[in-house]
Amino acid sequence: MKKIVWLFMLIFLAGCNITVLQPKSETASEQAFLINFSFWLMMIVVVTVFTLFIRFVYKYRFTEKRKDDLPEDVKGNRKLEITWIVLPILLLIVLAVPTIAITYEQSAKAPQDRKKNGVHIDVIGKQFSWTFQHENGKKEMNRLVIPEGEPIIFHLTSEDVIHSFWVPKLGGKVDVMPGKEITYEIKKPEKGSYQGKCAEYCGLAHANMTFKTKVVAKEDYQEYLIQESQ
Ligand SMILES: [Cu+2]
Q: For residue range 32-72, list pLDDT tens digits in order.
A: 999 999 999 999 999 999 999 999 999 988 888 888 888 88
Q: What is the pLDDT of residue 16?
A: 67
Question: Is the same domain home to 134 and 103?
Answer: no
Question: If you measure from the C-alpha of residue 198 to the centroid of ligand 1, how many angstroms do you get, rounded to a whole number?
Answer: 4
Question: Is the same domain home to 58 and 102?
Answer: yes
Question: If you measure from the C-alpha of residue 207 to the centroid of ligand 1, how many angstroms do you get, rounded to a whole number?
Answer: 8
**52 lies in some domain:** yes
Q: What is the pLDDT of residue 22?
A: 86
Strands (E), the chain: 119-126, 129-133, 139-141, 143-147, 152-158, 163-167, 171-176, 182-186, 192-198, 210-216
C-alpha 30/C-alpha 194 separation (Å) is 18
Question: If you measure from the C-alpha of residue 155 to the centroid of ligand 1, how many angstroms do you get, rounded to a whole number?
Answer: 17
Question: If you measure from the C-alpha of residue 165 to the centroid of ligand 1, how many angstroms do you get, rounded to a whole number?
Answer: 8
Question: If you measure from the C-alpha of residue 23 to the centroid of ligand 1, how many angstroms do you get, rounded to a whole number?
Answer: 23
Question: Is the same domain home to 83 and 146?
Answer: no
**177 lies in some domain:** yes
**190 lies in some domain:** yes
Question: Is the same domain home to 133 and 210?
Answer: yes
- The domain that holds 142 is classified in CATH as 2.60.40.420
pLDDT 10s digit of each residue in the chain, 230 long? 788 888 887 777 776 677 778 899 999 999 999 999 999 999 999 999 999 999 999 998 888 888 888 888 889 899 999 999 999 999 999 999 999 999 999 888 877 778 788 999 999 999 999 999 999 999 999 999 999 999 999 999 999 999 999 999 999 789 999 999 999 999 999 999 999 999 999 999 999 999 999 999 999 999 999 987 65
Question: If you measure from the C-alpha of residue 86 to the centroid of ligand 1, how many angstroms do you get, rounded to a whole number?
Answer: 45
Question: If you measure from the C-alpha of residue 49 to the centroid of ligand 1, how many angstroms do you get, rounded to a whole number?
Answer: 42
**1 lies in some domain:** no
**172 lies in some domain:** yes
Question: If you measure from the C-alpha of residue 3 to the centroid of ligand 1, how many angstroms do you get, rounded to a whole number?
Answer: 38
Question: If you measure from the C-alpha of residue 160 to the centroid of ligand 1, how many angstroms do you get, rounded to a whole number?
Answer: 10
Q: What is the pLDDT of residue 49?
A: 94
Question: If you measure from the C-alpha of residue 176 to the centroid of ligand 1, how many angstroms do you get, rounded to a whole number?
Answer: 9
Question: Is the same domain home to 98 and 140?
Answer: no
Question: Is the same domain home to 133 and 216?
Answer: yes
- Which domain, by its residues, includes 208? 119-226
Amino acid making up residue 186: I
**72 lies in some domain:** no
Cis-peptide, bond into residue 128, ω within 30° of zero: yes
Question: If you measure from the C-alpha of residue 107 to the centroid of ligand 1, how many angstroms do you get, rounded to a whole number?
Answer: 20
Question: Is the same domain home to 125 and 103?
Answer: no
CB 119 within 8 A of CB 187: no
Question: If you measure from the C-alpha of residue 159 to the centroid of ligand 1, how many angstroms do you get, rounded to a whole number?
Answer: 11
Question: If you measure from the C-alpha of residue 214 to the centroid of ligand 1, how many angstroms do you get, rounded to a whole number?
Answer: 20
Question: Is the same domain home to 157 and 208?
Answer: yes
**11 lies in some domain:** no
Question: Is the same domain home to 124 and 103?
Answer: no
Question: Is the same domain home to 152 and 82?
Answer: no
Q: What is the pLDDT of residue 13?
A: 74
Question: Is the same domain home to 93 and 123?
Answer: no
Q: What is the pLDDT of residue 9?
A: 79
**43 lies in some domain:** yes
Question: Is the same domain home to 148 and 205?
Answer: yes
Domain total of the chain: 2
Question: If you measure from the C-alpha of residue 118 to the centroid of ligand 1, how many angstroms do you get, rounded to a whole number?
Answer: 27
Q: How crowded is residue 155: how many other Cβ atoms within 10 Å of its Cβ?
A: 17
Q: What is the pLDDT of residue 116?
A: 82
Question: If you measure from the C-alpha of residue 124 to the centroid of ligand 1, how many angstroms do you get, rounded to a whole number?
Answer: 11
